[in-house]
């Protein structure tokens, strides 16, 4: 069973990921610019990661899919980390914003896992 605090953070996380996933299709240029050159099929990767984020956000709202969605989002956050490093280390891309995002990744991982971990009813 989720606590009231978990439910609030869960809804905020779901909205965050649904919005972020949608933005992959609304503003794909942003995501395409941070793709490392060694990653193939940039447009497809941006689309796939957008669908994954959107689906993960929706999955957080469905109790039977919630924990799987959280772990899927964890995998996605790990998979996109190289793009965040590339953005932070590439001159002229996003400077301080890209650097600020790097330490936020572990917080995002903790967030989806913490707000989906249930405690036994008792």
**pLDDT at position 28:** 95
Write down the pTM of the prediction. Answer: 0.88
Helix (H, G, I), strand (E, B) or coil at 3: coil
Domain contains 106: yes
Domain contains 122: no
Number of domains the chain contains: 1
Domain contains 121: no
How many CB atoms within 10 Å of residue 15?
Answer: 13
Domain contains 36: yes
Domain contains 30: yes
d(CA 22, CA 1): 29
pLDDT in tens, 34-85: 888 999 999 999 999 999 999 999 999 999 999 999 999 999 999 999 888 8
Residue range(s) defining the domain that contains residue 89: 4-112
Domain contains 82: yes
Domain contains 10: yes
Segments of 30-84 assigned E as strands:
none
Domain contains 120: no
In sequence order, which residues have a C-beta less than 8 Å from that of residue 96 and are 6 or more positions away?
Answer: none
How far is CA 93 from each of CA 43, 57, 96, rounded to the nearest angstrom?
18, 27, 10
């Amino acid at each position: 069973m989720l606590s009231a605090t978990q439910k609030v953070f869960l809804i905020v996380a779901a909205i965050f990921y649904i919005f972020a996933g949608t933005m992959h299709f609304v503003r794909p240029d942003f995501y395409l610019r941070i793709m490392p050159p060694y990653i193939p099929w940039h447009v497809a990767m941006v689309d796939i990661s957008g669908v994954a984020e959107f689906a993960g956000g929706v999955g957080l709202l469905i109790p039977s899919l919630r924990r799987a969605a959280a772990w899927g989002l964890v995998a996605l956050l790990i998979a996109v980390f190289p793009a965040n490093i590339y953005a932070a280390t590439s001159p002229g891309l996003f400077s301080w914003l890209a650097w600020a995002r790097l330490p936020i990744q572990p917080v995002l991982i903790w967030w989806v896992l913490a707000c989906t971990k249930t405690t036994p009813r008792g």
